[in-house]
Structure 1
Amino acid sequence: MFFTQHDIDRWIEEDIPFIDLTSSITNFTKDSLNITFKARHDTCISGCEAAVSVLERVGCTVTSSLKSGDFISMGDLIIEAEGTPQAIHKGWRVALNLLEYSSGIATRTRNLVAAARKANPHIVLSGTRKAFPGTRRLSVQALMAGGAVPHRLGLSETVLFFPAHYDNAGGLEMLLSQMPQIRLKCLEKKIEIELEKLEDIEKAVKAGVDSIQTDKMTPEQVAETVKLVKALNPAVKVLAAGGINIDNAESYAASGADMLVTSWMYFGKPADIKATIS
């Protein structure tokens, strides 16, 4: 994942808007300190690259680092760095926050993928763009570290018609009748549409959409949708979305859907990582 210098500086500036007041008035007796970050539980790590950039930006030298996507056990070393006391104290909390929040998302994602693939080894797990504002790059890196893929990186990337689109543009029938013209406008982009009724789904598949996204259907309803869609056109993908979590991912994967779309991994406890300064 690419993080700009602006990203790094913004994270640091948020914690140190002017100076580190406590460190500036402390008479440290050593010229150099060491800091280590270790997992307190089994963890899928993410945010390492961002944390390393923060530590280096404040003047530390990083001597060891894992990479996002590594799975580690309790007590394993994630990052080790050295620097002046002032540098260490400037960077440790920002780096720790990046590691803990990112790794929390990555670990939940990994567990979700594992649950879904008990029923379907080929199912694709996808994270929505519902990440907390300002954290999308970190969130996307974390969900990919956990074995999922981004559903939509932004509105410029994907054609996805929601009911609020076609209900306010002449209705579904009108939208589907314009599919040849729509296809010319988006060229190589796939066209996806969210629908609930089987009769509407049949119309959309026959009109030439590439994917059908369901919303808050039960696993049984998704299975019925998959059966209909694949009978009409096996190339059309079915994406199950709405309310998918660690408790029901296996059931939704068993429905035959091609992809599970969820925001579940973004919301939960951060990973527990210990930072030790010595």
Structure 2
Amino acid sequence: MASSHGHLAHLLPLNYKRFIADWLEEDCPSFDYGGFVVGESEGEANLLGKSKGVVAGVPFFNEVFSQLGCTVQWHVHEGQPIEPITKCATVRGPIRKILLGERVSLNILARCSGIATKTNALVQALRTHGWNGTLAGTRKTTPGFRIVEKYGILVGGADPHRHDLSSMTMLKDNHVWACANNKAAGNNNSPDSIAAAIPLAVHAAKAAGGFSTKVEVEVRSIDEANAAIGAGADVIMLDNFSAEEVGVAAKKLKTEWAAKGKPSGSFLIEVSGGLTEHNAPAHVCEDVDILSTSSIHQGTPIVDFSLKVSLR
């Protein structure tokens, strides 16, 4: 999928090639008995899209077969929607090597495309409701497979959110509660104590991360949000607020802080907690900048693909 700045594949770190090598080794750690039967004859196989969806994961698919000495010719573009049955690509090389990469490549493509499909559907639903903010994923990803899942979110048209603990500082409830449980904050988890602890946590995060690292704070009330904004937090996450509470809280925060000299844009409001394609549209309003949800990448259906060797 291309953007005005280039192809999304250009974002990928070099270590993704190492992941591919590891996944190939995982699938064939010893003898390839089936490949022995096939031998070294040259041939080709067609990649068929067998269910409706958005194609995503092209660079990973290509790298699987590149490492096996095969070539891939694509007949569709990444990010393109397909209907069954679509001939998406042709893989050429030794049949043994094509079959060696078959399952690994299909697993990656099916999962990545499923995430892009689910993501794109929610993006379109939110746009239909007139909201032009940012839909984002979360860090609830599969260990060892994060790069593919985050890439699928990008192809689907959403923001991947932070990639790891080093990407932005997010102060969640446990971070703040830990700060509240020291002498400076009152040694308890009462609402007043939590609100008092938020500036301590934000200031510590700012000092550690420096000017280039944004700080986000998860809050449960307007008082906690005000404490975070006052301390200089860049993003305020309204966590598990109802749709009605979101509209009231977001407007109140943006309006009151604008009157104090913090105009819209000096901090962002993110809404998270249990959002799905069914309830996310109800949580959007002009004062909400970001919706984040793991529903676009966790437990999503796959897009079905198969690789069929051409008979001659």
Is the TM value for this pair above 0.5?
A: yes
Paired amino acid for 1:21? Y
Stretch deviating more after TM superposition (173-182 or 125-134): 173-182
Whichever residue aligns with residue 206 of structure 1, its letter is G
Matching residue of 1:250: 281
Equivalence for 1:269: 301
Correspondence 1:225 to 2:249: yes
> Pairwise mapping of residues 100-139 of structure 1 onto structure 2 (< 5 A)?
100-139=110-149
* Closer/same/farther in 2, CA of residues 144 and 260 from structure 1, 3 Å limit: same
Residues in 2 aligned to 1:273 and 1:194: alpha-carbon distance in whole angstroms = 40
TM superposition score normalised by structure 1: 0.91
Following superposition, the deviation at residue 219 of structure 1 comes to 1.1
Q: What is the distance in 2 between the residues matched to 1:99 and 1:178?
A: 41
> Is 1:12 matched with 2:24?
yes
Higher deviation after alignment, 205-214 or 69-78: 69-78
Q: 1:263 to 1:82 in 2, by over 3 A?
A: same
CA distance in 2, matches of 1:13, 1:177: 47
Distance 2:122 2:75 in 1: 26
Residue 103 of structure 1: how far off its partner (Å)? 0.4
Displacement of 1:242 in angstroms is: 0.8
Q: Residue 272 of structure 1 aligns to which amino acid in structure 2? A: D
| Equivalent pair of 1:49/1:67 in contact (CA under 8 Å) | no
Query: Residues 202 and 215 of structure 2 are in contact (CA less than 8 Å); yes or no, is this contact kept in structure 1?
Result: no
For 2:269, which of 235, 238, 242 is the aligned residue? 238
- 1:180 to 1:161, Cα distance in 2 relative to 1, 3 A: closer
Aligned residues: 276
Pairing 1:192-211 to 2, within 5 Å after superposition: 192-211=216-235
CA–CA distance in structure 2, aligned partners of residues 276 and 3 of structure 1: 30
Tell me which residue corresponds to 2:4: none
> AA paired with 1:277?
V
Aligned equivalents of 2:204 and 2:142: distance in 1? 35
| Farther-moved stretch of structure 1 (30-39 vs 132-141) | 30-39
Partner of 1:2: 13
Gaps of 5+ in 2: 1-11, 181-193, 259-263
1:1-278 equivalence runs, <5 A: 1-4=12-15, 5-26=17-38, 31-64=41-74, 66-170=76-180, 171-176=194-199, 179=202, 182-186=205-209, 187-231=211-255, 232-233=257-258, 234-235=264-265, 236-254=267-285, 256-266=287-297, 267-278=299-310
CA–CA separation in structure 1 for the residues paired with 2:29 and 2:177: 47
Q: Check conservation: 2:170, 2:218, Cα contact below 8 A.
A: yes
- Distance across 2 between alignment mates of 1:112 and 1:100: 19
> More deviation in 186-195 or 46-55?
186-195
Letter in 1 for 2:242: T
SS state at 1:117 partner: helix
Cα gap change, 1:112/1:135 in structure 2, threshold over 3 Å: closer, same or farther? same
Q: Does the aligned pair in 1 maintain the 2:62–2:71 contact within 8 Å?
A: no
What is the SS of the residue equivalent to 1:79?
strand
RMSD across aligned positions (CA): 2.0
Supply the distance in 2 between the matched residues of 1:269 and 1:181 (Cα, whole angstroms). Answer: 41
For 2:253, what is the secondary structure of its paired residue? helix
Q: Which residue identity does 2:251 align to in structure 1?
A: K
* Identical pairs, percent: 26
Counterpart contact for 1:120–1:253, Cα < 8 Å: no
